[in-house]
Chains A and B, each alone.
Chain A
Amino acid sequence: MKTSVLSTTRVYFSSISAGVRSLVQACSSILPYLWSATELRKEVTEQYPDPVSSRTPDELPSRTRGLLENDIQRCTGCKECEEVCPVKCIKVENEPGEDPGKTWVAVFDIDHASCIFCGLCVEVCAPQSLIHTREYEGAALALPQLVTSFGRGRVTDEQREKWDIMRRSQEAENL
């Protein structure tokens, strides 16, 4: 479609005028916030929750997504949390346990430096061993200090042999 020079010029200047008007409106609309002029324009954010000026973890809402904690006694080592984690900050390593039906969760590390506190790992945790605490103070001097380990530790060779024997004997009894 052909357009005349005049109409193009009109569109050009009207778009500049619209841009300037929009800028002026935007600038003037936020100005009353500077003086918290009305109830609606008061500050909506809260102070950072710290014990000095504001809330302690106990006062935070129950569904606050704070630092993660895993009750390793209840954890089955199913690795659902590791698989669902979008930033891959959970590392789980299992070994055969004493009981044939259970695994020994040797390593369960959560890197809180990478964690985005999305809560997906808590959602998928079947035995509900993994929970968000209300703790939020995670400052550390070095990045490795932000890795929290909940694992039971590697099984020694001696222990592994002992458990193998116990499992085999249990299996033989069952048969």
Chain B
Amino acid sequence: MNTDRNGEAADCSGEVSRDSEASTDEPPVAERLDAKRVDRQAAARGGVYALLAALFDEPDESTYRRIAAGDVDATCRDLLDATGLAVETPELTVEDDHETLCARFNDLFTVGYAEYEDRTDGSLDSQGPPVSLYETAYRPEASWNDVNLDLARAYDYFGLEVDQSARDNHDYLPYQLEFAGYLARREAESSADAARARLDLHDRHLHVVAGGLADRIDEEHGTGLYGELADFLDRFVTADQTALAERFEGGDGG
């Protein structure tokens, strides 16, 4: 079975091959990328996802200086302009000093302890920080295994794995953002397959965590940069998902 590099299956067997070496009639893959042939919108979206992945981590001193200097904000605007998506730009600037920003990040996203949702019925958000960076937290109907397995399969299929030197769970938001960025960049260098996969990633996972996280962070006070970032994540994911849905399904991707 052959597949072309636009991802169109060349036969109707239903089988999909991942073995590029099996396609003996394909020309050798160039090692350098010709910038002129790159889909700039997809590349920019890939850049936004990569930037989001980096920002949903505690900022080190260098990153903090770039945020504080407005460089990150400017870059995000530049990237957003290039995505072709009509998404309101966020204000990715801070007034916090570095220490306070770190404390804010950890307080929101990493320091976990039980908090009551409703003391009258004993319901408890027991599993961690006020705003989870893990999709499973926003999928009460789904098992942790099912969510993570689905993502593990996806990363694995596209030749990616979690860096075991500092591993995290497969449903960790920065991983999903890195994966979305990776798929966007694959699309940028001419794989429509990857765009289709990104739409499915949105439908199955990323829109859930992005929406859930934005809703959840709205309930918190003093979210600062991260409130802005969470809202932007939700807006951007929704716009990208909608655009992809229109492209592949003629719908809104709901």
A and B associate in one complex:
no
